Amino acid sequence: MYRRPSIACALAFITLAAAASAQSPVFTSFEPPTYALGQIQNQDGWVYITGDATKQVVQNAVVFAGAQAAGVDSNGVAGINEMGRYYNLSLPNQTLRIDLMVYIQNTSQAHNWWSIDPQAPSGDFIAFQVNSSGNLQLVGAVNTVTSVPFPYNQWNSMRLDINFVSRRVNAYFNGAPIATNLAFHPNSGSSTDLLGITFASLGAAQTEKMFIDNLSVGGIMDEASGVFQLKYFNTNYGSGQITISNAGSSSSGSDPSNDATGTLCANFYSFDPNEEMQTCCACPVTPNGLSSLNINEDILAQNLIVNPSSAITVKVLFTSKAGQNSGGICDPTRVTTFSLAKGGLAWGANLRNVTFQGSPPVAVKAVTETKFTNAELSAAELTKLATYCQYIKILGSQVTGICKSCQSGARGAIGQ
């Protein structure tokens, strides 16, 4: 089994500023002005590790999307030709997803290895490789050779979903699963950090080249996690009500009223039926705490639009207060993948006009209360929510469009 050297020492000189900036999801398409044609070393955190630095480049000859992509040229030299990028991502509650497009230019020459290799500081690694027979192979605690051939001279989609806590990985190739719940180095440490990812050619002298494009690195939370929830409200018959609580799932302290790790931020975003964000705001919720917001008095009171719609969708993102905005005030513009946290609960009360059949029919206002619905959160939606909220704060001069915060306790819906 091939075991690549650790990249910890090779990447040690990366600046602390680069490490801090990597705490949000990273999408890299190797486009200008961030990337310029030529050696990739020192561009946006990329480094030369071993081999020939002049053959680890940003180029424009083979590109999946846009104008540029990265390439590693084996250069006909035996050994390892390897480049990498430092991420320093902490993933205690999430699965790391790595998505990218890969193109290997083959010249019908005997082939040894091409490797895509994420590593944690404790030495954990999982390598996604093309072996000497041209088949995909996963290297970790076990050496797993799949029966899936790697098509050369075309772009292929690769994805790894890695859980550094359970030490399990799912691998996908061109959208199809090729390995599920595969164990890797289960006893090598307890680190939940991703140090970096390397791309390498290694083995006997080759003349092949590997190109990568549209590299995405970030944590994922599925629908069952409950970090992202939504519900609709209609205010034609009176104001609805949102009630939130914190189950304490992220708590590690003994004082529920002052738990730095367990307190959540409930980040709210309201949309009208035309998909336009109307307001956004956030408030802290301590473990076992109970808070509420009134739709008219809190969510829509300072609406960006003069005549807001009576029908809205309210989305809530639950994040760790300690992990968001450096532990300061809850700020809905500063949500990131790596601040998302479990344990948030939300309910919504709506008022409806209900007609009871009779002589004559009797119309009354009825209250319906249901839980918010869990939804899967995409990286694109997360970015959109934070970005749109930033725009609202600018357009509303930090007042209009900023909904009021939560009040303690659970209030009832208010009819007209």
Segment 390-409 shows an average pLDDT of 70
- pLDDT above 80 for 381: yes
Is the model more confident about 217 or about 39? Answer: 39
Burial string for 329-361 (b: 16+ CB within 10 Å, else e) reads ebbbbbbbbbbbbbbbbbbbbbbeeeeeeeeee
Alpha carbons 31 and 7: distance in angstroms, whole number: 25
- pLDDT above 80 for 210: yes
Q: pLDDT value at position 70? A: 94
Give, as one character, the DSSP assignment of residue 296. I
Segment 304-331 shows an average pLDDT of 84
Alpha carbons 3 and 359: distance in angstroms, whole number: 82
Q: Is 2 buried (19+), middle (13-18) or exposed (0-12) by CB count in 10 A? A: middle
Instruction: Compute the mean pLDDT over every residue in the chain, rounded to the nearest whole number.
Output: 75
Residue type, 68: Q
Structure tokens at 221: 């939370």
Q: pLDDT value at position 154? A: 93
Bridge-based pairing of strands 209-220 and 228-234 is unpaired
- How many CB atoms within 10 Å of residue 305? 14
pLDDT band of 318, cuts 50, 70, 90: very high
Alpha carbons 10 and 212: distance in angstroms, whole number: 21
Residue type, 314: V
- pLDDT above 50 for 75: yes
pLDDT per position as a tens digit, 38-53: 999 999 989 888 888 8
Q: pLDDT value at position 254? A: 54
Alpha carbons 191 and 189: distance in angstroms, whole number: 6
Concatenating the DSSP letter of every residue in 148-183 gives EE--SSSEEEEEEEEETTTTEEEEEETTEEEEEEEE
Instruction: Indicate the range of 131-135, 345-349, 407-411 predicted with least confidence.
Output: 407-411
pLDDT > 90 fraction of the chain, expressed in percent and rounded: 18
Q: Which of the given ranges, 79-88, 105-114, 261-270, 333-342, has the highest pLDDT on average?
A: 261-270
User: Nearest-CA neighbor of 224 among 93, 92, 103, 360?
Assistant: 93
Alpha carbons 248 and 238: distance in angstroms, whole number: 32
Residue 98 pairs in a beta bridge with: 160, 217
Q: List all residues 6 or more positions away from 15 whose beta carbon is below 8 Å from its beta carbon.
A: none
Instruction: Indicate the range of 78-92, 107-121, 175-189, 307-321 predicted with least confidence.
Output: 107-121
- pLDDT above 60 for 3: no
Q: pLDDT value at position 412? A: 52
pLDDT band of 14, cuts 50, 70, 90: very low
Alpha carbons 175 and 101: distance in angstroms, whole number: 11
Q: How far is CA 38 from CA 27, 52, 64, 86, 111, in A?
A: 20, 13, 18, 19, 26
Cis peptide before 186 (omega within 30 of 0): no
Alpha carbons 268 and 386: distance in angstroms, whole number: 10
Q: pLDDT value at position 138? A: 76
First to last CA, the chain: 72
pLDDT band of 268, cuts 50, 70, 90: very high
SS3 content of the chain, % helix, strand, coil (to 5): 10, 45, 45
Q: pLDDT value at position 133? A: 76
Q: pLDDT value at position 187? A: 43
Alpha carbons 185 and 180: distance in angstroms, whole number: 16
- pLDDT above 90 for 219: no
Going along the chain from its start, the domains and CATH numbers come out as: 16-220 (2.60.120.200), 223-415 (no CATH)
pLDDT per position as a tens digit, 82-139: 888 877 666 655 677 788 899 988 755 544 455 666 655 555 566 777 777 778 877 7
- pLDDT above 80 for 376: yes
Strand ordering across the sheet containing 264-271: 277-285, 264-271, 311-320, 228-234, 373-374
Q: Which of the given ranges, 71-85, 103-117, 330-344, has the highest pLDDT on average?
A: 330-344
Q: pLDDT value at position 129? A: 76
pLDDT band of 13, cuts 50, 70, 90: very low
Alpha carbons 75 and 333: distance in angstroms, whole number: 46
- pLDDT above 80 for 12: no
